[in-house]
């Protein structure tokens, strides 16, 4: 009866091995189906929009302005410049007050 028991044990190991192989094949089949599903999703992915469309708003980086529309600038010096300063500005202490080198004794000041 020892031979019968050995046959039963070896047959049960063989049946377990076949079951494991079948389960592994089923798992591989499921994996392949998941991969195919992902590939099918790639075909339905919308394309990226073009960089520029006809109706897109445009941002202007430069603007053409006529010279007449700009503020006129003028340079005033000396007494005329001091006379045009606002009343609240102390001409002697203001950064707007420019002294020549003659006024500073030859050092400092802008011209």
Helix (H) or strand (E) holding 38: helix 2-43
Q: What is the predicted pLDDT for the residue at 100?
A: 53
In this prediction the pTM is 0.37
* Residue with the two structure tokens 């006809």: 54
Per-residue pLDDT of the chain (111 residues; tens, 9 = 90+): 678 888 888 999 999 999 999 999 999 999 999 999 999 988 888 888 888 888 888 777 787 888 777 777 778 887 787 777 777 767 666 655 555 555 444 444 444
Alpha-carbon distance of 78 to 98, in angstroms, equals 9
């Amino acid at each position: 009866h020892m031979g019968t028991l050995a046959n039963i044990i070896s047959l049960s190991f063989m049946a377990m091995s076949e079951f494991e192989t079948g389960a592994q094949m089923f798992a591989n089949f499921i994996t392949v189906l998941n991969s195919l599903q992902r590939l099918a999703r790639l075909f339905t992915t919308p394309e990226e929009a073009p960089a520029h469309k006809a109706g897109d708003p445009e941002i202007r980086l430069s603007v053409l302005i006529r010279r007449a529309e700009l503020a006129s600038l003028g340079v005033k010096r000396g007494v005329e410049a001091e006379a045009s300063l606002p009343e609240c500005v102390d001409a002697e202490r203001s950064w707007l007050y420019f002294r020549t080198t003659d006024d500073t004794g030859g050092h400092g000041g802008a011209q």
